[in-house]
Structure 1
Amino acid sequence: MTLAARLRAALDAGALAAPELLTGDLTGLELDGAPPATEAAVLVAVTDRAEPGVILTQRTEHLRAHAGQVAFPGGRIDPEDANAVAAALREAQEEIALPPAAVTVIGMIDPYRTGTGYRVTPVLGVVRPDVRLIPSEAEVADVFEAPLAHLLDPANHVRASGIWKGRERHFYKIDWQGRNIWGATAAMLVNLSRQLKW
């Protein structure tokens, strides 16, 4: 069975199990009266190799939002994008030169609401391992790959806390070879782990 077929079957099986998912950074009280979220999409690109990996980026330090953080390729859904899938593929091409034709789309994961006002839909896809990725100098300081097995393992999903906007916040973080994957990116990986009957 191909990796794409395995992931599709795992996603379908996970949906039937109705797992408990993380919905966002904000509490229900904070969402009451909050402005509508900006729709966004990210690409969770899994490389098709014996030990599959997930393509992640390190954002540049000069960006206004989430500077220096580890993230999936992605961004807001523009009016010209047909849907979340189109937006995720477009953003991945802009940020790391990943051709849309090189991605086999598997499906979408439940959206996640960030504290910065975005409702992010993760799009799961499989990518050939030989695709040359080139980070966009304006947005991406580095592009790297972390093992899918490591990212999906609940033992690596560490709960942490910190103060944000005057309140204590709880979030997940996942460490990989000195890379600190945390916040919304880690939360979406936790959800992926829960949604995939891998």
Structure 2
Amino acid sequence: MTLAQRLRAALEEGHRRADLIPLSEVRDPRIRGDIPLAPAAVLVAITDRAEPGLILTERSTALRKHAGQIAFPGGRVDPTDADEIAGALREAQEEIALPPAQVELVGISDRYHTFTGFDVVPVLGVIPPDLPLRAQESEVASWFEVPLAYALDPANRVRREVEFAGALHHYYEIFWEERRIWGITAAILANLSRRLGHDHIAA
């Protein structure tokens, strides 16, 4: 089986376990009640290597929101996008010059609702290794590749707590070399780890 076929089979099996991930893991814990959510999508681009990698970006420090944070390529889904998949592919092309035709689609993982009002759809895809990717400087300071096995391994993920509005809330951190992966990106990776069978949530 190809890498894309193996990932697709694991993702489909993971989604058949409907009770695997509780609501608290797919919604920013700071959200109270119902809030309006705008559609957004990110591309979880996995390199087709013997040891697959994961493409992540470091956001520009000049951005107003989430400056300097580690993120997947992606953003708001435009009205001209056919769907979330089209939005994720367009954003990846704009941010890191990843041609949509080079992405073999695998499927969609768990949506994540953000405190800033986005309904984020993670779109998984396999890409050839060593593409000549290029960061779009106005949005992305740089891009890098982390081993997929490392990013999904629960042993490399730390659960932290922070107080907000008088209550304790948790978030995840993953450290790779000198980079700190946290927030939405780490939450999506934690959920993907569970869907692909790397991890589970204790009852």
Contact 1:109–1:122 under 8 Å retained in 2: yes
Distance 2:175 2:46 in 1: 18
Distance 2:165 2:50 in 1: 43
Aligned 1:1-198 pairs, distance under 5 A? 1-18=1-18, 19-21=20-22, 22-26=25-29, 30-32=32-34, 34=35, 36-164=36-164, 168-197=168-197
TM-score, scaled to structure 2: 0.91
Distance 2:91 2:187 in 1: 20
Shift in Å at residue 130 of structure 1? 2.8
* Residue-by-residue CA offset, 1:112-165 (whole Å, 9 max, x unaligned): 011111110000000000311000010000100011001111111210123456
Note the residue ranges of structure 1 that are not aligned, 5 or more in a row: none
Secondary structure, counterpart of 2:88 in structure 1? helix
Note the residue ranges of structure 2 that are not aligned, 5 or more in a row: 199-203
Distance 1:167 1:118 in 2: 22
Distance 1:103 1:15 in 2: 22
Q: Which amino acid aligns with 2:130?
A: D
- In 2 relative to 1, CA 153–136 (structure 1 residues): closer, same or farther, beyond 3 Å? same
Q: Which amino acid aligns with 1:139?
A: E
- In 2 relative to 1, CA 117–16 (structure 1 residues): closer, same or farther, beyond 3 Å? same
Secondary structure, counterpart of 2:78 in structure 1? coil
- In 2 relative to 1, CA 137–164 (structure 1 residues): closer, same or farther, beyond 3 Å? farther
TM-score, scaled to structure 1: 0.94
Identity %: 58
Give aligned pairs, total. Answer: 195
Q: Which amino acid aligns with 1:73?
A: P
Q: Which amino acid aligns with 2:56?
A: L
